[in-house]
Amino acid sequence: MINLGTNYMGLNLKNPIIVSSCSLTHSPEGVKRCADHGAGAVVLKSLFEEQIAADVSRLIDNSVPVYHTEELEYMKRLGSDTSANDYLKIIEQSKEITDIPVIASLNCVSNKKWTEFSRYLEAAGADAIELNIAFMPKDFDENPEKIEDHICNIVSDVKHYVNIPVAVKLGPYFTSMPRIAKRIRKSGASALVLFNRFYQSDIDIHRMELVSRNKYSHPNEMSNTLRWISILYQRIGCSLVANTGIHNAEGVIKQLLVGAKAVQICSTLYLHGLSQIENILIDLERWMRENEYETIDDFRGKMSQKNVNQPDYFERQQYIRALVGID
């Protein structure tokens, strides 16, 4: 009897497929569709801290909004005009009509007053919070340690207000991935989502315009995630979740083999429809049966750096020294 269950930062998932934060999870109906197609959990579309700031005064202390209206206009142009209050209703209703974990997602760059809003997410019934900390360093003199401090302060501030687990969705660009991973864990995060995929900017050389291309990922984008989950597995004391470029069961199996607790998928669902979740689960189960695994724990981490006989394979870019001193 095959059991696809997995425990992700204390949440019991019936299988390791999480629909990552995107427009497919922007409404209770969307969440229900994901659940009906077999998702183990969903991460709601992100609420931006600027959106919270617009409502925070009313929700928290009736003071004047701390952000400028231009920022809110910008959010609306991006098509993200859900108010913080609407977001709470999406959580409540999603929990009412499904029985899978619902993870709220906050897109943030600062630890301003908005962090207190996290407790409303918990009160509305969110099972966990995912922080999408997309901080873009622009200051040529900024010390990387300060950037790390800033990220960790956001995590500890949010954690101060909630008891539910907090995950951090990180981008792939850090001077030392092991160090930032360890520091985020120490700041109170229960999980790391590796990696966020940033907006792909490009130039149309005929129209001489800036454009966005490659909205969806390609399966060959997942090797960086594979590398870092493999290296960090059982070394930083928190759950690791794989994201970016996972399009099919083969991708899922690889990420579980290097140590992921679960995977987050998005592009493949836009490209092939939500039935791709069912296809992945069928293929995953078939592979487990063929290889005589009854549970995911039977093979999780088998190909992680600490368990393979060529451990330096995953370090082919001088990362080994950065790992010294990490338990």
- What residues make contact with ligand FMN under the rule CB under 6 A? 20-23, 45-46, 105, 107, 132, 169, 196-197, 215-217, 243-246, 265-267
The strand pair at 209-212 and 201-204 is best described as antiparallel
Instruction: Name the minimum Å distance from CB 244 to ligand FMN.
Output: 4
Instruction: Give min distance, CB of 23 to ligand FMN, in A.
Output: 5
DSSP for residue 52: H
Shortest distance (Å) from residue 310 CB to ligand FMN: 27
Residue placing its CB nearer to ligand FMN in the complex, 16 or 245: 245
Minimum distance from residue 216 beta carbon to ligand FMN (Å): 6
Query: Whose Cβ is closer to ligand FMN: residue 51's or residue 107's?
Result: 107
Q: How far apart are CA 311 and CA 230, in angstroms?
A: 10
Shortest distance in whole angstroms from residue 5 CB to ligand FMN: 22
Give dist(CA 128, CA 322) in Å, integer.
Answer: 30
Nearer Cβ to ligand FMN, position 218 or 302? 218
CA gap 141, 137 in Å, rounded:
10
Alpha-carbon distances of 43 from 34, 112, 164, 187, 241, rounded to whole Å: 10, 23, 14, 22, 12
Alpha-carbon distance values, 110 to 78, 80, 188, 192, 301 (Å): 19, 19, 17, 19, 34
Residue with smaller CB distance to ligand FMN, 47 or 236: 47
The DSSP result for 188-200, as a single string, is T-SEEEE------
- Give me the residue label for tokens 């791709």: 276
* Of 113 and 247, CB closest to ligand FMN: 247
Q: Which is nearer to ligand FMN, 23 or 234 (CB)?
A: 23
Give min distance, CB of 247 to ligand FMN, in A. 7
